[in-house]
Amino acid sequence: MRKPPLRAHATTLAALVAVAAATLSGAAHAQSSVTLYGTIDTALVYANNAGGKHQVEMNSSNVLGNRWGLRGYEDLGNGLGALFLLENGYSSSTGGFQQGGDLFGRQAYMGLTSKQAGTLTLGRQYDAVVDFVTPLIAGAQWATYLGGHPGDLDNTNNDYRSNSSVKYTTPTWNGLRVSGLYSFGGVAGQFSRNAIWSLGAGYTHGPLTLGAAYVHVEDPNFSYFGNNATSSATASNMAASRVYSGYASAGSEQIVALGGNYRLGAVTLGAVYTNTQFRDLGAFASLNPRGYSGAAKFHNAELNLRYLVTPSLLLGAAYDYTHGYGVNRVNYQQGDLGATYILSKRTQVYLVGLYQHASGTDSSGQAAVANLNGLSASSTPNQLAVLTGITHKF
């Protein structure tokens, strides 16, 4: 067989180069982008009582939840853009997945965005508490995951996501932003079963930041607490903390959250209030061994302070009070002190001390014990923890 002439090869190569150039030109015009990003956070933790013994361990996802993700955007023209986000949570101390082993357990969504009309997204997403109130608590700023509210009752520590959700967020109008979310339960013939919906708003003006949110959850043991691939479809998914483990039979859950902070020079003062209610206890009889009925309710109030001593050194203090009422009466008091030293825009080191005291009767029907987030429960009403670590963003 005769080989094609060299001129034919040259013509074909020129055509391919022209097509590639046109493709790259179109991509550049569309201003498409995909970004890889992440954080890694690891610390050494000492607890004076974890199950009755002193404990020293390595912990991850403290100031920032460990993650790596892909963020994409495509300019569709006329102010409209397509976006997606896939975000994995992992443990830097073991290398394993977090969020129940889900590959993209932190977030996974796609949608459309417009500067004039707002943003519409679909997938696994955060509710309004996480969007608007979580940034105002000490645990999300400097006090670490251990400094969150007891049991993360109100999801201000961002433990729970909403699967199969549709979310709309408005553009920012003079500092105000509003968002609404609905998560489909996916149960045939029962539209509201396992459904979640939330509404929230945030406002920023100068030194003032405010946030408010409402979340309503149907069948929380299966929809909110059981939102991972390894979650049980029949047993309790709420065993992680005695603060709420006895309320797995609830037919619904409601969270109301309000918060704000105000910056006065180098000092920022903050306050957050939440009310969480596990309603219709006994709706799932097999998850109600204590025969609870009615509702278990919790008030939570936090005061926090940040002081930027220098551009590199931050000091923090916080006090949190939780009062449970309704089915059981219980109180948790917690104090946090911390220091963060900023080494660069990407890297910081921190030292945090936390103390919690419990009293009354918890959800298990027993005398309440202290249980700082992320640690094994104390065998007594008191628990003290100190951790020091490093955080890096990439």
Q: pLDDT tens for residues 319-342?
A: 999 999 999 999 999 999 999 999
Looking at residue 1, its pLDDT comes to: 42
> What is the Cβ-side half-sphere exposure of residue 290, based on CA atoms within 13 angstroms?
17
pLDDT at 197 over 60: yes
Rounded to whole angstroms, the Cα distance separating 231 from 222 reads 8
Write out pLDDT tens, residues 284-313.
999 999 999 999 999 999 999 999 999 999
Q: Strand, coil or helix: what is 158?
A: coil
pTM of the model as a whole: 0.90
Q: How are beta strands 313-326 and 294-308 bridged, if at all?
A: antiparallel
Q: Are residues 363 and 316 in contact, defined by beta-carbon separation less than 8 angstroms?
A: no
Q: Are residues 61 and 42 in contact, defined by beta-carbon separation less than 8 angstroms?
A: no
Tell me the residue length of the chain: 394
- The number of beta carbons lying within 10 Å of the beta carbon of residue 331 is 17
Amino acid residing at 19? V
Which residues make Cβ contacts (< 8 Å) with residue 134, sequence separation at least 6?
Answer: 140, 155, 156, 157, 158
Looking at residue 186, its pLDDT comes to: 84
Rounded to whole angstroms, the Cα distance separating 384 from 218 reads 35
Q: How are beta strands 67-77 and 33-50 bridged, if at all?
A: antiparallel
Q: How are beta strands 107-114 and 176-183 bridged, if at all?
A: unpaired
Q: Strand, coil or helix: what is 77?
A: strand
* Closest listed residue to residue 85, CA positions, set 125, 143, 127, 52: 125
Q: Strand, coil or helix: what is 329?
A: coil
Tokens of 26: 């179109």
Q: What percent of the chain has pLDDT over 90?
A: 90
Could you tell me the fold of the domain covering 32-393? Porin (2.40.160)
Domain boundaries, given as residue ranges, for the chain? 32-393
Q: Are residues 37 and 68 in contact, defined by beta-carbon separation less than 8 angstroms?
A: yes
Looking at residue 370, its pLDDT comes to: 98
Q: How are beta strands 347-360 and 382-393 bridged, if at all?
A: antiparallel
Beta bridge partners of 151: none
Write out pLDDT tens, residues 140-171.
999 999 999 999 999 999 999 999 999 999 99
Q: Are residues 118 and 81 in contact, defined by beta-carbon separation less than 8 angstroms?
A: no
Beta bridge partners of 52: none
For residue 309, what are the CA distances in angstroms to 78, 314, 340? 46, 6, 10
Rounded to whole angstroms, the Cα distance separating 149 from 302 reads 9
* Closest listed residue to residue 124, CA positions, set 144, 151, 106: 106
pLDDT at 19 over 80: no
